[in-house]
Amino acid sequence: MEPVIVWYLRMSVIYFVAGVAVGLGMLLWPSEAGYYLPVHVHLNLLGFMSMMIYGVGYHILPKFSGRHIYSPQIVKVQFWLANAGLIGMAISWPFHVRGDIPIVYTALILSSVISCIAIFLFAINIVKTVKSI
C-alpha cells in the first residue's frame, strides 16, 4: 500500500477517536454541546468517514478499473489540503459559534474553502481514474 494511502487511513482513525471523544464530551458537558456539535459532526463525517473513503477509494478503485491512478500528485496535494482544511474548521468553528469575531469567521471560511478544494480534487482524480474510455 502506498505510504500516502496509509496516512489517509491513519488520519481517518485519528479523526474517529477525536470525533467520538468530542461527542462524549458533549454528553458530559451539555451546556457546551452546542459549540462543539459542528466539530463533532465534521470530525466524524468529513474526517473519519471521508478520509477513510479517500484512502480506500484510492487503493481499490484503480485496481477495480484496471487503471493507474490519474494523478498520484493530486493524491498527495489533496491529503494536505483535506487535513489542513478540516483541522482549521475544527479549531475555528467553536470560537465562531461563541461570538461573531471577524478573524475567526475568516479562518473558518478559508479552511472550509480548502476542504472544498480537497473534495473537488478527489472528485476529478477518481472520475478521471475510472473513466471507461
Residues at the contact surface with ligand HEM, assessed by CB under 6 A:
20, 23-24, 26-27, 33, 37-38, 40-42, 44-46, 48-50, 112, 115-116
* Closer to ligand HEM by Cβ: residue 50 or 83: 50
Dist CA 80 CA 92 (whole Å): 18
Q: How far is the CB of 96 from ligand HEM (least distance, A)?
A: 9
Q: How far is the CB of 37 from ligand HEM (least distance, A)?
A: 5
* Closer to ligand HEM by Cβ: residue 1 or 24: 24
**102 in Cβ contact with 122 (< 8 Å):** no
Q: Give me the sign of the Cα torsion angle 48, 49, 51, 52.
A: positive
* Closer to ligand HEM by Cβ: residue 26 or 90: 26
Supply 98's cell numbers: 461563541
- How distant, in Å, are the alpha carbons of 4, 25, 98, 114 from that of 9? 9, 24, 32, 20
Q: How far is the CB of 104 from ligand HEM (least distance, A)?
A: 14
